[in-house]
């Protein structure tokens, strides 16, 4: 599941980086690239995990999202294997907005008391 040629997104990093005083943007599509395999090869990425990672990053309080999309991902000029199909983008943004609402304003996330 993880190891060589696979990136691991550690959501703990989001609030840690925010403590430096800068907004944090989560890159949801490059993290699903499988390095060592061409991005033109469908096996070169796992875009099915983009929604899970986006929602996790939003729940962790990220300030922005970077998501590469294309109407026909495998025809994209670069990073084809990791692109989110454009038809899924709107629903993913809606889900992310719902998660953001559920956790409160990003400015308040770090001040929440543990339950």
Tell me whether residue 112 is in a domain: no
Q: Could you give the number of structural domains in the chain?
A: 1
Tell me whether residue 3 is in a domain: no
Which pLDDT score is estimated for 8? 87
Tell me whether residue 93 is in a domain: yes
Report pLDDT digits (tens) over 10-68: 999 999 999 999 999 999 999 999 989 999 999 999 999 999 999 999 999 999 999 99
Q: Pick the residue with more confidence: 93 or 104?
A: 93
Which pLDDT score is estimated for 105? 59
3-class secondary structure, 106? helix
3-class secondary structure, 46? coil
Tell me whether residue 115 is in a domain: no
Report the chain's terminal Cα–Cα distance, integer Å: 31
Domain residues for the domain of 64 are 13-105
Report pLDDT digits (tens) over 43-59: 999 999 999 999 999 99
Which pLDDT score is estimated for 115? 39
């Amino acid at each position: 599941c993880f190891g060589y040629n696979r990136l691991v997104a550690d959501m703990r990093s989001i609030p840690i980086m925010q403590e430096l005083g800068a907004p944090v943007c989560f890159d949801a599509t490059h993290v699903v690239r499988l390095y060592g395999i061409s991005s033109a090869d469908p096996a070169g990425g796992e875009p099915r995990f983009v929604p899970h990672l986006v929602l996790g990053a939003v729940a962790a309080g990220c300030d922005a999202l970077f998501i590469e999309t294309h109407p026909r991902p495998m025809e994209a000029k670069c990073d084809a294997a990791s692109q989110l199909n454009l038809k899924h983008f709107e629903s993913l943004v809606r889900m992310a907005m719902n998660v953001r609402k559920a956790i409160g304003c990003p400015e308040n996330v770090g001040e929440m008391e543990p339950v």
